[in-house]
Chain A
């Protein structure tokens, strides 16, 4: 039988299938368990209280990212509650012998950036983390998804998850992307089309010539946003781009094991003619730079578009949601997106904080200056190694000369658990993944865009079409 990539990954990991009656519940073996400070303390505590030990310590990699300051770290974390959470992770890892990249370690960064960067995420694996954006890792042809804290404990204790197979969806993006159009725009355009619940119950495979042409960074951005489309997992087949990205990374296999692994990895793609429950084809050339206008990633339009009018929507629930969103965002129907001015800019998050993202943003700002109306423009690299690489390329100098702040790695203003946040009513061009109410600070207004578009907005003080900037 012809198998999808998802079928192959699934079948490789089923330890035990309950009888039919259990509606397809299986025990799924987990190869890689990534852990961060926010969703793990309760799991470690319950584990200890039950007198249990982690099943396989070497499958775990831990890092603190959500609560860490992005400013000088010499004095540690000032907020006592944040500090306790990070200390708790440190203690749990030390007590159990779990590998952890501490705040002072150059390898520290956002969990979804460091996994691939270290080669800890490999094709064919099952990867879980107590974090919804674990879908990011699917870019490597692995099955990666977010889990809750009870499941974190379950994986710690048993190396398995009790779970059900999802339906499969194939989204093919065919043709060539226009200049200045990025993986982020593909992701937002897809969500705009299928909605934030469009992928619910599905594992999505992204395919087609435009996806094949993407770098690993771009594929990660796309899979990262699969969760915003409601899908639990996003994935891309393994190809030469995947393999050459992994080669030589610290946790990647070497020598004889490398050749053995690569041979297997090359089988990780959907067989020709494999059946999907749903398929969608998108023409890459039709995708324009995207900007969200509301409080859900599906509330999105193109840079040459306008804020939509709820009065034109017939569905009552939807209309009401739009009205609430516009009120929250302080926007009127019919306003051109390009006339919306911004207060802050955030370039970072597990969606867009990798080297390629920083290069794209730096290219736009090079030799220019952030508009005087913009109160703060932040660049927060995804990891210490990304930061180091960017500095080697002189990107930090470009950003600093343009009036950006250049920070230490972490989640930062993606969810504002540390000190980086929006004040009430402030409007932000952000490269993160969620524009929910209060996500970047209570009362803050988020517009999701690509790194190049965020950079362009910083310079202009409002949203502009990066394709028209020189």
Chain B
């Protein structure tokens, strides 16, 4: 995993609640056995007017000019603003893969679906939860100011606006540690291999039917 570093990025607003992972990356793209290349199909149903299938030549597709990410002012965006319950539905990790592959590093929403939230951390994408009133202010600011940016500093857990205003956000210590240092979680867990073996032996003795 890449280390998460402080950056300043363009913010794009996706003003709807309950955005599900089917919308983030539709199922026809889940047939891939690879981990990369999902970015061009991020929000496929909303982003294009024609129906997308894997292996299509994207340059020939009909762009939906009304969809927010297709607007010129949001090109190169790295921070997505969203509404409540972002990432609900299917557990597909393809959703965070697609967001990351598109270029997003941070998603900010008032609330996230559990599995999606979790999946983001596993790949180095940072989901940030802010309260509703702050979210409303950010949505307004992004709509008003073209090229609106935020600076994300995970170390100090702050978002800084162009005017220098700072908001703090909460993040779990362990996850923060993994993100900042780009740690491989499996490697970390295997440091406890002895403990896992011991636990397993005890379990085998107490509940042998689980091991037959």
List A residues at the B interface (Cβ < 8 Å). 15-16, 18, 21-23, 25, 27, 29, 31, 38-39, 41-42, 45-46, 50, 52, 55-56, 58, 66-67, 79, 81-82, 84-85, 88, 122, 124-125, 130-132, 134, 145-151, 153-154, 157-160, 162-164, 166, 196-197, 200-201, 230-232, 253, 257-258, 260-261, 264, 296, 298, 317-318, 320-321, 324, 415-417, 434, 436-439, 442
CB-based contact A29/B208 at 8 Å? no
Residues of A within 8 A of B122 (CB): 148, 150-151
B190 (CB) vs chain A CBs: closest residue: A158
In the complex where A321-B18, A415-B27, A434-B89 touch, is A160 in contact with B196 (Cβ < 8 A)? yes
Cβ 8 A contact of A22, one of B26, B172, B210: B172
CB-based contact B31/A158 at 8 Å? no
Cβ 8 A contact of B189, one of A42, A84, A160, A264: A160
CB-based contact A31/B210 at 8 Å? yes
A163 to B118, CA, bound (A): 9
Residues of B within 8 A of A42 (CB): 33-35, 93
A321 to B88, CA, bound (A): 15
A370 to B169, CA, bound (A): 56
In the complex where A25-B174, A148-B91, A437-B22 touch, is A200 in contact with B113 (Cβ < 8 A)? yes
Q: Can you list 26 residue pairs at the A/B interface with Cβ under 8 Å?
A: A16-B192, A18-B174, A31-B210, A88-B33, A132-B90, A146-B91, A147-B115, A150-B123, A153-B186, A160-B192, A160-B196, A162-B188, A166-B114, A197-B84, A200-B111, A231-B114, A232-B114, A317-B83, A415-B22, A415-B27, A434-B89, A434-B90, A437-B22, A438-B23, A438-B26, A438-B45
- The contact string, 1 if C-beta is below 8 Å from chain A, for chain B 7-33, is 000000001111010110011101111
CB-based contact B174/A147 at 8 Å? no
Cβ 8 A contact of B208, one of A39, A257, A298: A257
- Give 4 new A-B contacts, CB below 8 A, not counting A197-B111, A296-B18: A22-B173, A132-B89, A437-B22, A442-B45
List B residues at the A interface (Cβ < 8 Å). 15-18, 20, 22-23, 26-28, 30-35, 45, 51, 54-55, 83-85, 88-94, 96, 111-115, 118-119, 122-123, 172-175, 185-186, 188-190, 192-193, 195-196, 199-200, 203, 207-212
CB-based contact B22/A439 at 8 Å? yes
CB-based contact B17/A321 at 8 Å? yes
Cβ 8 A contact of B190, one of A149, A157, A436, A442: A157
A212 to B47, CA, bound (A): 47
A52 to B190, CA, bound (A): 11
B72 to chain A, nearest CB (A): 24
In the complex where A257-B209, A437-B45 touch, is A148 in contact with B118 (Cβ < 8 A)? yes
CB-based contact B172/A196 at 8 Å? no
Residues of B within 8 A of A39 (CB): 91-93
Cβ 8 A contact of A158, one of B28, B33, B91, B189: B189
B197 to chain A, nearest CB (A): 9
Residues of B within 8 A of A317 (CB): 15-17, 83-84
Residues of B within 8 A of A232 (CB): 114-115
A321 to B14, CA, bound (A): 12
Interface centre among B89, B96, B123 (most CB of A within 10 A): B89
A81 to B34, CA, bound (A): 12
Residues of A within 8 A of B32 (CB): 81
Residues of B within 8 A of A253 (CB): 209, 212
CB-based contact A27/B196 at 8 Å? yes
In the complex where A29-B200, A436-B20 touch, is A131 in contact with B35 (Cβ < 8 A)? no
CB-based contact B88/A197 at 8 Å? yes
CB-based contact A437/B23 at 8 Å? yes
Residues of B within 8 A of A18 (CB): 174
Cβ 8 A contact of B173, one of A21, A46, A82, A145: A21
Residues of B within 8 A of A50 (CB): 186
A67 to B32, CA, bound (A): 12
B177 to chain A, nearest CB (A): 8
CB-based contact B91/A261 at 8 Å? no
Q: Which 10 A-B pairs have the closest CB atoms?
A: A253-B209, A148-B119, A150-B122, A148-B93, A41-B33, A146-B91, A132-B91, A22-B174, A197-B85, A149-B93
A177 to chain B, nearest CB (A): 27
Residues of B within 8 A of A122 (CB): 209-210
A82 to B33, CA, bound (A): 10
In the complex where A16-B192, A39-B93 touch, is A196 in contact with B85 (Cβ < 8 A)? yes
Cβ 8 A contact of B23, one of A23, A52, A151, A436: A436
CB-based contact A261/B207 at 8 Å? yes
Residues of B within 8 A of A324 (CB): 16
Residues of A within 8 A of B55 (CB): 81
A211 to B196, CA, bound (A): 36
CB-based contact A125/B210 at 8 Å? yes
Interface centre among B26, B35, B88 (most CB of A within 10 A): B88
CB-based contact B115/A260 at 8 Å? no
A258 to B186, CA, bound (A): 35
Residues of A within 8 A of B91 (CB): 39, 130-132, 134, 146-148
Cβ 8 A contact of A320, one of B16, B33, B88, B89: B16
CB-based contact B89/A416 at 8 Å? no
Residues of B within 8 A of A27 (CB): 189, 192, 195-196
In the complex where A58-B211, A131-B91, A261-B207 touch, is A52 in contact with B186 (Cβ < 8 A)? yes
B191 to chain A, nearest CB (A): 10
A26 to chain B, nearest CB (A): 10
Residues of B within 8 A of A163 (CB): 118
CB-based contact B199/A416 at 8 Å? no
CB-based contact B196/A162 at 8 Å? no
Cβ 8 A contact of B196, one of A15, A416, A438: A15
CB-based contact A230/B17 at 8 Å? no
CB-based contact A417/B27 at 8 Å? yes
B45 to chain A, nearest CB (A): 5
Residues of B within 8 A of A298 (CB): 18
CB-based contact B93/A146 at 8 Å? no
A31 (CB) vs chain B CBs: closest residue: B210
A461 to B17, CA, bound (A): 32
Residues of B within 8 A of A150 (CB): 93, 119, 122-123, 185
A55 to chain B, nearest CB (A): 8
